[in-house]
Amino acid sequence: MAARANIDVERLLAHYRAMARIRAFEEAAERAHQEGHVKGAVHLSIGQEAVAAGVCIHLKREDLITTTHRGHGHTIAKGADTGAMLAELLGRASGTCQGKGGSLHIADFSIGMLGANGVVAAGLTIAVGAAHAVKLRGERRIVVCFFGDGATNRGPFLESLNWAKIYELPVLFVCEDNGFAASTRTRAMSAGPGPDARAESLGIPARTIDGNDVIAVDEAAGELVERVRAGAGPQFLLARTYRLKGHTASDLGAYRSAAEVEARKADDPLKRAAELLKVSGVADETIIAIDAEARAEIAAAWKSALGAPWPAVELAFTDVQDVRMPSWR
């Protein structure tokens, strides 16, 4: 790899650290699923870490995010505790939502994370509602809404972008196009030139970038976040990336060849960042130490999650919707 001009090595190291922590978490989540510790589905974001890292570096604790079924990376980058997250995947009492949400429903309001979501495109409406509340209350924070390309073919995408633009809400839409919606290729299901053009058709400025280039994500997100903070209304970022693992942790991926996935590994955002660090003069040992630190953090999370107690039966109806069915109690 060729050296790049004007690299901020410290910032790239911070990105690498964030991505390494997400990667280590996702590998642990995959293992937990394979070993039967997780009930239900797990959607891994391996290969997509640069989007989470490059966007969230611009966010403050009080800023808000919404994410999808594939939300571990965004949640970690926003500042969630990986031990609590892993415990949540395992359904334990020490989990982010006391073990009642699991991977698809992690929410942590203490860090402005309004929730993962199992319903494709549902996070868009929640983000826009939150952004409207922020505007009505005159708060200074902003909202970032992460969603996949598949979500752009659902109605809430249009409704949310339209509402955000009409009310000039403080929201950054981040479309993570990983090439697929479950087993369907994006291009096979999406009419027109792309989600960025759909945003622009509503008057929302859009940027499209290589989502595996963490510096490109950082630069574009920085510009768009600044505009949102300055009151310029909703902005749109389309980050093109690739999902290196199956749609879920149990998906065998029959809709694409192993050779295709292998070829795309050359574009792995961590690999690219590590190569760029090396050609910028960072020693191998520094990168190895960051990887080891990330793995140690997640190993500790694994140990505490596996040893954590199950939620008490008496608390089954606490913090969940009361459906008032006596037979459930």
Positions in the binding site for ligand TPP (CB under 6 A): 68-70, 118-120, 148-151, 178, 180-182, 247
Report the alpha-carbon distance of residue 184 to residue 180 in Å, rounded: 5
Number of alpha carbons in the 13 Å side-chain half-sphere of residue 150: 18
Gap between the Cα atoms of 173 and 147, Å rounded: 8
> What secondary structure does DSSP assign to 131-163, as a single string?
HHHHHHHT----EEEEEEGGGGGSHHHHHHHHH
- Complex with ligand TPP: residue 129 or 222, whichever CB lies closer: 129
Dist. CA 253–CA 41, nearest whole Å: 15
Q: Minimum distance between the CB of residue 3 and ligand TPP, rounded to whole angstroms? A: 33
Which CB atom, from 222 or from 253, has the smaller least distance to ligand TPP? 253
Of 119 and 312, nearer to ligand TPP (C-beta) is 119
Distance, in Å, from the CA atom of 91 to the CA atom of 100, rounded to the nearest integer, reads 6
Closest residue to ligand TPP, Cβ-based? 148
Determine how many CB atoms are found less than 10 A away from the CB of residue 60: 11
* Closer residue to ligand TPP in complex, CB, 19/274: 19
Cα separation, 62 vs 45, whole angstroms: 24
Closest to ligand TPP by CB, 177 or 287: 177
The token pair at 172 is 């950054």
Closest approach of Cβ 154 to ligand TPP, in Å? 6
Give the CA-trace dihedral at 128, 168, 239, 301, to 10 degrees.
-40
Least Cβ distance, residue 328 to ligand TPP (angstroms): 25
Complex with ligand TPP: residue 22 or 151, whichever CB lies closer: 151
Residue 74: CB minimum distance to ligand TPP, A: 11
Is the distance from CB of 105 to CB of 119 less than 8 angstroms?
A: no
Question: At its nearest, how many Å lie between ligand TPP and the CB of residue 254?
Answer: 16
Residue 137 Cβ, how far from ligand TPP at the closest point, in Å?
Answer: 30
Nearest to 297 by CA among 89, 84, 11, 130: 84
Q: Which is nearer to ligand TPP, 118 or 129 (CB)?
A: 118
Report the nearest approach of ligand TPP to the CB of residue 43 (Å).
Answer: 6
